[in-house]
Amino acid sequence: AVGRCLIAVLENGQRADGSVQLPEALSPYLGGKTRLTAEGTLA
């Protein structure tokens, strides 16, 4: 079930530049980061 949730987050947050906008609810668990870059780093 976790895999399906992760795929949904990636699909729904995908941007034209290849980055992924992460849900605000996850930000506290990711050190305040809100975006996954196309290179795979949190920003």
pLDDT digits (tens, 9 = 90+) for 9-40: 999 999 999 999 999 999 999 999 999 999 99
Res 40: pLDDT: 93
40, 31 in Cβ contact below 8 A? no
What is the distance in angstroms between the CA of the first residue and the CA of the last residue of the chain?
A: 26
b or e along 18-29 (b: 16 or more beta carbons within 10 Å of the residue's beta carbon)?
A: ebbebeeeeeee
Res 13: pLDDT: 96
Res 1: pLDDT: 86
Res 18: pLDDT: 95
Answer whether residue 4 shows pLDDT above 90. yes
